[in-house]
Amino acid sequence: MNLLLRRSFLKRAAGGAGALALAALPRSLRAATAARGFKIFACDWTLQKTCNPDAFPLAARIGLDGVQVDFGRVKEGEKTLPLFAEAQQEKILAAAAEHKVAVASLAMGVLNNIPYKSDPLTEAWVRDAVGAMQRMKVRVTLLAFFSKGDLVDDEPGVNEVIRRLKKVAPIAADAGVVFGFESWLKAPQLERILDAVNSPGLRVYYDVGNMQKVGEEVGAAIRRLGRERICEVHLKDYDDLYGKGSMNFPKVRAALDDAGYHGWLGIEGVKTPLGVEPSIKYDLDYLRPIFPKTA
């Protein structure tokens, strides 16, 4: 099968699966989403273009509405992150404008290896992310708490993170931007952190795949947190291409409707058996009927 025919077949297969999943939802939910709609991005690291303007032409070819841009990694001998350079911001913004693909949000994945709970450098990075969001006209930056930054069963780490966020979240709120807290912690623990920080500058960054992996009932957690406490959502399936694995995306959509959330949704692909571009295209084609595009 030649490449064009293969792509056409995959698109029909994914879109058909998504349409069947959508048809299983109550008519009222289908109508609600058609009216309000969603926009879908992919993370630049999923596209294998971390902090790279080349993510945008790739996203345009796939048909994505946006890209989540990571701040990048610390280069040897430096103490800052690539996206803090205004020249790099300009390259990203120019690529977004040229290809008509939005910068959906930013992410600080480096905190997985250089933890916010312990490393003094990270306090300045998170504080300076406020200025980067303002300059790039982006509302959300994801703060990652995995790997070395994991907070599960780490009470001192949680307390230190709360202490730091109490200082920086009000600055974000005053600037009209938000930090999204993504971790392995479940909804009750996240609520405790948000209550302690007590600022609209901090919300939950909810990843459905991650939380299913740790045994959380995803729909109940989304409904519990609600749109007031969820700033953005990652869609993920650890097992396969979307619609073929264990994640029930129609149920996710029903929960988001109940919670009143109709913001950005992000593809953070884990399984790319077809290669990066065709796999993310497959996932997007599956998701579109379930999460129709904003008009």
Tokens standing for residue 88? 């790099």
Specify if 70 maps to a domain.
yes
- Residue 25, number of CB atoms within 10 A of its CB: 18
38-82, pLDDT tens digit by residue? Answer: 999 999 999 999 999 999 999 999 999 999 999 999 988 889 999
Residue 162 sits in which domain range?
23-287
Q: Amino acid identity, residue 204?
A: V
**Structural domains of the chain, count:** 1
Mean pLDDT, rounded, for 94-99 = 98
Q: Tell me if 293 is assigned to some domain.
A: no
> Considering the domain boundaries, does residue 1 fall inside one?
no
Q: Is the pTM of this model over 0.75?
A: yes
- Write down the mean pLDDT value for the chain: 92
Q: Any idea what the CATH number is for the domain that residue 72 is in? A: 3.20.20.150
Domain for residue 6, yes or no? no
**Angle at alpha carbon of residue 44, lines to 43 and 45, rounded to 5°:** 90
Residue 265 lies in a domain: yes
Using left for φ > 0, alpha for ψ between -120 and 50, and beta otherwise, residue 63 falls in left
Q: What is the pLDDT of residues 233-268, one digit of tens each?
A: 999 999 999 999 999 999 999 999 999 999 999 999
User: Within a domain: residue 16?
Assistant: no
Q: Phi/psi at 232 (nearest 5 deg)? A: -165, 165
Domain-embedded: residue 119: yes
pLDDT band at 100 (very low <50, low <70, confident <90, very high): very high
Confidence at residue 24, expressed as pLDDT on a 0 to 100 scale = 54
The pLDDT > 70 percentage for the chain reads 87
- pLDDT above 50 for 33: no
Could you tell me where the DSSP H helices lie in the chain? 3-23, 27-36, 55-62, 86-99, 120-136, 155-175, 187-197, 208-213, 218-229, 249-259, 276-287
Q: What is the pLDDT of residue 31?
A: 47
